[in-house]
Amino acid sequence: LKEIGNLASWTVSSCKPGCGVEALRDEDTGLFWQSDGPQPHHLNIHFSRLVSIISIRIFLDFEADESYTPTRITLLAGTGYHDLIPFSALEFAQPKGWIDVPLDHVGGGEDGKTLRAFLVQVRVVENHQNGKDTHVRGLKV
């Protein structure tokens, strides 16, 4: 698989200084995006052309992050912000490591498991222990 995240423009709803997109995109999972504002938190992955996505992976670490760890994440996709459609809703207990986002039933490709979009939004809906801000340690497309 080829990582295509470098072809996109990444933005986040908010971040603490030094804990923005650069930290999230870094290969070192010791670094992380930390939000700094009201929920829901979100990050946008905006491609300049229509892309075919066959895998999305998120790195979370409950042991290190505790109440900053997401418990519910919704992923949406579309051509722009005006037509985002949810395609996956994830719930976690105590996640640690890389989590594959299921792309079953997204409809693209011969097997129906290829997401075709200009924009993917990852929306953190809820954290452990009702934590306010969130940590996401990695995201690959």
**The domain that contains 44 carries what CATH number?**
2.60.120.260
> Cα–Cα distance between 31 and 75 in angstroms, integer?
22
Least trusted range by pLDDT, from 51-55, 67-71, 74-78, 105-109? 105-109
67-76: pLDDT as tens digits:
999 999 999 9
The sign of the dihedral angle between the CA atoms of 112, 48, 78, 55 is positive
115-134: pLDDT as tens digits:
999 999 999 999 999 999 99
Contacts of 65 (CB under 8 A, 6+ apart): 32, 135, 137
- Quote the number of domains for the chain: 1
Position 13: which residue type? S
Residues 26-54, mean pLDDT to the nearest whole number: 97
- For 121, phi then psi, to 5°, come to -120, 130
Structural domain boundaries, residue 118:
5-140
Predicted confidence (pLDDT) at residue 110 exceeds the cutoff of 90: no
- In this prediction the pTM is 0.95
